[in-house]
Amino acid sequence: MTDIAQRLRGSMPALITPMKDGKLDEAAFRQFVSWQVAEGSHGLVPMGTTGESATLSHEEHHRVVAICVEEAKGRVPVIAGAGSNSTAEAISLSRFAKEIGADAVLSVAPYYNKPTQEGIYRHFATIAEAVDIPVLLYNIPGRSVVEIAVETIARLSKIANIVGVKDATNNLARPSRERLACGTDWRLISGEDATALGYMAHGGHGCISVTANVAPKLCAEFQNACIAGDFARARTLQDRLMPLHDAMFCESSPAPAKYAASLLGKCSDEVRLPIVAATPPARARIRAAMEGAGLL
């Protein structure tokens, strides 16, 4: 296992992309990245779903990744979102991430096309062959429609630079099955804040988190407790964070996370259509959850 793969651990926020008047708010994003590192986040994930990658142009996508790498300054790994339902486009985004200095890429299962398991295998294998950078698979059938089967993941794990998976299946049997199929070096990263406690107990290595956007210190403490095997401490933190985990998805993400970040003065709550800003009932729920977690 490479040194970079070993560093894919702990609390890694799926970063929001601050916007102002319809454009990327670069100053706010730079400050946000630096704050995340200072608060103890173990890694940074720009241009995932939470970063509104689906509605940013390629130029904007490149700029967000570049800024994140610049501001991280090598202090924590940057895992750049570089997925697409077009294999050629995913390769292009991965090549850019490699060139700009990202440490790894997050590559989502091809959405909309509904490929077979063989198609999924060839998609990821082709990306890994084309770009010499660690690849973290992203298994999220709720958004991509297709699920990467354990058997397909086992095949992909034999490719040297495919190092692990972000699992948003909400199936807590998956980490145990994948560890048996792929070996102990395979990086098991949760993609679900609410079930990360169970995932870590099954041998997970960390979480790519939405909640960590607004509670980075608490999420890092939670992950540190899990990694240390202190699940009593982890449960205490889970109970404190659980209402916030739920609130982050009370409406279409990342609207709740951006509103929460705005309450902390980190950026505006502006999102890009077809996502719309959080409604008043959602705002009340988000504020209450933040107050309950001691963030306000």
For the domain that residue 212 is a member of, what is the CATH number?
3.20.20.70
Mean pLDDT of 244-272: 98
Residue 185 lies in a domain: yes
**Is residue 2 pLDDT above 80, yes or no?**
no
According to the model, what pLDDT value does residue 285 have?
A: 98
Strand order in the sheet with 10-13: 10-13, 206-209, 187-190, 162-167, 135-139, 104-108, 79-81
Residue 251 lies in a domain: no
User: Has 121 been annotated as catalytic?
Assistant: no
3-state secondary structure of 294: coil
| pLDDT one-digit tens code per residue, 208-237 | 999 999 999 999 999 999 999 999 999 999
pTM metric for this prediction = 0.97
Which percentage of the chain shows pLDDT scores above 70? 100
According to the model, what pLDDT value does residue 3 have?
A: 85
Average pLDDT, the chain: 97
According to the model, what pLDDT value does residue 5 have?
A: 86
User: Has 98 been annotated as catalytic?
Assistant: no
Cα–Cα dist 141/160, whole Å: 25
Mean pLDDT of 155-182: 98
| pLDDT one-digit tens code per residue, 137-166 | 999 999 999 999 999 999 999 999 999 999
Can you list the alpha helix ranges (DSSP code H) found in the chain? 3-7, 26-38, 58-72, 87-100, 117-130, 141-144, 150-156, 174-182, 196-201, 216-227, 231-247, 255-263, 280-292
Q: Which domain holds residue 189?
A: 3-230
Catalytic option among 111, 112, 158, 166: 166
Residue 131 lies in a domain: yes
Residue 288 lies in a domain: no
The total number of structural domains that make up the chain: 1
Mean pLDDT of 17-40: 98
CB 271 within 8 A of CB 52: yes
Residue 225 lies in a domain: yes
**Is residue 1 pLDDT above 80, yes or no?**
no
Residue 86 lies in a domain: yes
Strand-pair category, 23-24 with 19-20: antiparallel
**Is residue 39 pLDDT above 90, yes or no?**
yes
**Is residue 247 pLDDT above 80, yes or no?**
yes
Catalytic option among 20, 23, 121, 138: 138
**Is residue 189 pLDDT above 90, yes or no?**
yes
